[in-house]
Amino acid sequence: MTLDPQMKLILDMAAAAGAPPVRDFAPVQARAEFARRMGFFRRGEPEAVGRIEDLTIAGPHGPIPIRLYYPKAKPPIGAAMFFHGGGWVIGNLETHDSTCRERANGSGVMVAAVDYRLAPENKFPAAADDCYAATEWIAEHAADLGYPAGRLAVSGDSAGGNLAAVVALMARDRRGPLLRYQLLIYPALDPELKAASHSEFDRDGYVLSRADMVWFWNHYLRNQDDVANSYVNPARAKNLAGLPPALVITAGFDPLRDEGEAYAELLRKAGVPVECTRYGGLTHGFFNMASHIDEAKKAVAQACAGIRAAMA
């Protein structure tokens, strides 16, 4: 594999800056540092959308902030939950604002971004519980929110991809909201880090390393028993049949690459319609770099097309 030239330029700039990995910070400081770095990828004014609404719903363990992004083309043809990445420890509504705007306009749906509770202050299953509760609420209030009832997808990147897969499982197991689609963008799915790509990318320099994932998982999980929980690792579910169609997007230079692709294969074997695409020259996090990387633009367009088609 060869790094995409535009991707390499970003990595070279990061190396020249000499910033330490976020795992070298305490969680609170890591959040501020991650937000600062994500600001680098904002170019010009944010993409205009139809409108944005911030609201707070009552969750099972406290209030859950949600941000709604409406597309320019009205009315929305459906809705898509979005769970941000950041290893369940960092990230928020602001760090992933640009990708939510792009997704709303590109897919024609209302994007509902969830500001779920973060670890280590709130360990598993806090984030999963918040994301499922938010999905239930969005499904139940379709008429009030202005999108067609029953046209709902889940999506997320990295840890958010994990949460999207988990919410899809929860919805099936609990006979909850009917989901039309799951978009899993380089999802984090294996706390044991056994996939070969974790050994391949066990050093810094490619945005995410195996050491970063050890740090994230250690903050998120309560104990070793959580490793076997299918709401931590969906691949541990006894049965994956009956889940919504999926698009799994992976990056070639990413320790999470192989576990995402392995999960796509498990879904396929269970009879779930799956499309799995590897963007070979890119690293983890590329979805937030669409304003800088042409291949990332293609991935965003693919994701938007998949969601749009699922709402037909």
Q: Hunting for tokens 């997808």 — which residue is that?
A: 153
Q: Which strand ranges, in their side-by-side order, compose the sheet holding 110-114?
A: 51-59, 62-70, 110-114, 79-83, 152-157, 181-185, 246-253, 274-283
Q: Which residues of 44-79 are buried (b: 16+ CB within 10 A; e: fewer)?
A: eeebebeebeeeebebeeeebbbbbbbbeeeebbbb
**Catalytic status, residue 254:** yes
Q: Which of 97, 115, 212, 254 is catalytic?
A: 254
Q: Hunting for tokens 């992976």 — which residue is that?
A: 250
| Number of residues in the chain | 312
- Smallest CA-to-CA distance from 139 within 108, 178, 169, 104 is with 178
Looking at residue 141, its amino acid is: H
Q: Which residues of 221-245 are buried (b: 16+ CB within 10 A; e: fewer)?
A: beeeebeebbbbbbbebeebeebbb
**Catalytic status, residue 158:** yes
Q: Collapsing DSSP states into helix, strand and coil, what is residue 275? A: strand
**Catalytic status, residue 284:** yes
Q: Which of 96, 198, 219, 284 is catalytic?
A: 284
Tokens of 258: 């192989």
Looking at residue 55, its amino acid is: L
- Smallest CA-to-CA distance from 104 within 48, 165, 181 is with 48
Q: Collapsing DSSP states into helix, strand and coil, what is residue 33? A: helix
Q: Which of 158, 190, 198, 219 is catalytic?
A: 158
Q: Are 153 and 109 contacting, i.e. CB atoms less than 8 angstroms apart? A: yes
Residue positions annotated with a catalytic role? 158, 254, 284
